[in-house]
Amino acid sequence: MATASAGTAGPHGSLNGWRHWRAWPANVASLWRRSLRFRTILITLALTALAVAIACIWMALAIQNDLFGSRLRQVQGYAQRATTAAQTTLDNAAVQGDGLQIQNLMTAVRTTLAQQASSDIIAAFRIGPPSPNAPQNFTTDPRFESIISDQLRTQVRENGDQQWWQSVALPSIGGTVPGIVVGQQLQVPEVGGYELYLAYDLGDASQTLGFVVGTLWIVGVGLVLLISGIAWFVLRSVTTPIGQAAETSAKLAAGELNVRLPVRGEDELATLGRSFNAMADSIESQIKELADLSLVQQRFVSDVSHELRTPLTTIRLAADMINDQRDEFDPATARAAELLNAQVQRFETLLTDLLEISRYDAGSVQLELEATSLAHLAEDVIASMQQLADQHGTDVRLVAPGGYSPVEMDPRRVRRVVRNLLGNAIEHGEGRPIVVTVDSDQQAVALGVRDYGLGMTPQDVERVFDRFWRADPSRTRTIGGTGLGLSIALGDARLHGGELAVWSELGRGSHFVLTLPRQGTRLTVPSPIPADPGDDSVAAVEALGLTQPIEVARADPARSAADAAQPARGGAK
Ligand code: ADP
């Protein structure tokens, strides 16, 4: 099946879906596809954010390590200094087995530690079995002992001369703070080894780190926004001219040949603009040349047709005269006279069509509008072509559920269109019934000519309105068509603001539908008669019989009151 239509096109709807959040993913996807600027900004934003995030995390980690490392070295230094001072105090003391002296010595050591260690949290635990002379374990904070891990204690106990450390969470007011515990052995004379632990608060370092990380993130986000902003401005300076070029080339493609791109400077965009303008100049001049040539050709066709008219009239008169007297000639001469007459008639038709086409090309066709009933016009045309239909044994029926009320149209031209459509249907209808349908709605009136003859291939349908085109030259012709009929009919339909649509299928026949708007403006709605006739088959039509009128059941609420008042009629015979 193939359908083609020549006429008006419907308007496109615009998309305004940002108000509904559900439509956002689709809108963003469509923006991603359509906008170079949006795509580039989004990619720049994502890549910059990724790079800045990696840089920030790396810097935060590096600063954290450095802060911790330097603080660790510092507290290790403090602890070492304090331990050495305490050990020196212990080593220099002469206690000679006196428990009290040892106890006093330990108190002195505690004071030294408190002064030298730069820490308030100090603890010492005796290594080895309890001894009557040995001073008591001591700690400045009772919670301190539970913080020190067994692992650290074992290390301190087993490697007396080495300093050990461990990260801990130190209890503080309202929670804990990060800290370091440094442990080392202390040798008390005559008593033996003590584990000495000093705790240091890293709260300051952690605060500094928090401040640095916070600053890093603020700077990072600012950097991302700044780079995106810069990318936006830079891109705008590139994409605006590209967008302008795209818009201008679309206008040029749509036929606005005088559009040009503004050219500024010497850069690549200026070169693009200059090349585009040169191309537009060249296209414009070539199209002008072609238009001039076409004008010359139109004038030539028009002039030749006019010039041929006078001699043709004379030839026609002579041919008529000879044809009238053919009974007096011998059979061969009589046949020649008949042929001459037929061909002169064809010549005349061709010349008339050529003149009409050249008038369309020159744009000098004027409609002579008159309120006309399309249904009655169709009836007249069918009656006038009855003889030709009879010659082909074709039954032509009129089914007119609407289209009686008068509509402004040029009756001479519309009659010519209907004659052409009906002539073609009779010519190619294989003697099968032809149904002429007339119907209307509030916006338009339409006339369809349905035949059940040879039909056409989709390729033929594509070309059916082309000038001088005929489907198959071998098809038998009786009314000697010129191949211009349908292109003139299309010109007539368009001149009325209407359309001429065709449906055709090989073996199923054809359906041509002429639709004219009621208001004399352009058609914006579908025709009251669809070109595709659906599944009406030849068999179904033949089953109706030749004398039965075909009722087309239509329920059209839009039909005008005037039309509705008229009875459906069938059979032009
Ligand atoms: P012509 O003067 O040859 O009829 P048209 O422009 O009216 O010129 O038609 C062009 C061609 O379209 C015809 O030659 C014919 O091949 C094809 N055609 C037109 N109407 C029909 C139809 N109803 N069925 C089949 N073919 C058709």
Does the Cβ of 481 fall within 6 Å of ligand 1? Answer: yes
Q: Annotate 245-312 with DSSP letters as a single string.
A: HHHHHHHHHTT-TT------SSSHHHHHHHHHHHHHHHHHHHHHHHHHHHHHHHHHHHHHHHHHHHHH
Specify the pLDDT at position 302: 82
In tens, the pLDDT along 454-507 reads 889 999 999 999 988 887 655 555 555 678 899 999 999 999 999 999 999 988
State mean pLDDT over 428-442: 91
Q: Does ligand 1 lie within 6 Å of residue 517's CB atom?
A: no
Given a cut of 80, is residue 351 above it in pLDDT?
yes
Question: Does position 549 have pLDDT exceeding 80, yes or no?
Answer: no
Highest CATH level, class, for 268-361: mainly alpha
Which distant-in-sequence residues (6+ apart) come within 8 Å of 559 by Cβ? 401, 402, 439, 440, 441, 442
The pLDDT, as a whole number, for residue 573 is 28
pLDDT band at 541 (very low <50, low <70, confident <90, very high): low
CATH class for domain 366-562?
A: alpha beta
- pLDDT, tens digit, 9 for 90 and up, residues 253-278: 898 889 999 888 888 888 989 999 99
**Pocket of ligand 1 contains residue 471 by CB under 6 Å:** yes
Residues 428/451, Cβ–Cβ less than 8 Å: yes
For the chain, what are the domain ranges? 1-26, 35-250, 268-361, 366-562
- Gap from CA of 483 to ligand 1 centroid (Å): 7
User: How much is the pLDDT for 450?
Assistant: 94
pLDDT for res 389: 94
Query: Quick one: CA dihedral 539, 540, 543, 548, positive or negative?
Result: negative
Higher pLDDT, residue 555 or 393: 393
SS3 179: strand
Residue to substitute in 3, 388, 424 for testing ligand 1 pocket (most ligand atoms within 8 angstroms of CB): 424
Ligand 1 pocket check for 405: Cβ under 6 Å: no
For the 35-250 domain, the top CATH level (class) is alpha beta
Cα 426 to ligand 1 centroid, rounded to whole Å: 10
Report which of residues 101 and 449 the model is more confident about: 449
CA angle 294, 300, 301 (to 5 degrees): 90
pLDDT in tens, 297-349: 888 888 888 888 889 999 999 999 999 998 898 999 999 999 999 999 988 88
pLDDT tier at 12, thresholds 50, 70, 90: very low
Q: For ligand 1, what atom is nearest to the CA of residue 475? A: 16
- pLDDT for position 17: 61
- Give the CB-side neighbour count of residue 331, counting CA atoms within 13 A: 0
Higher-confidence residue: 394 or 160? 394
Is it the case that residue 436 has pLDDT exceeding 50? Answer: yes
Query: What is the pTM for the complete model shown?
Result: 0.53
Rounded to whole angstroms, how far apart are CA atoms 527 and 514?
Answer: 9
Q: Give the residue, by CA position, lying nearest to ligand 1 atom 7.
A: 485
pLDDT of residue 539: 60
Predicted pLDDT of residue 24 = 83
Backbone φ, ψ for residue 84 (5° rounding) = -60, -45
Cβ of 425 below 6 Å from ligand 1: yes
Q: Is the pLDDT of residue 286 over 70?
A: yes
Closest CA to 103 of 95, 113, 115: 95
75-134: per-residue pLDDT in tens? 999 989 988 988 888 888 776 767 777 888 888 888 888 888 888 788 988 887 777 777
> Does residue 432 have its Cβ closer than 6 Å to ligand 1?
no
**Are 273 and 263 spatial neighbours (Cβ–Cβ below 8 Å)?**
yes
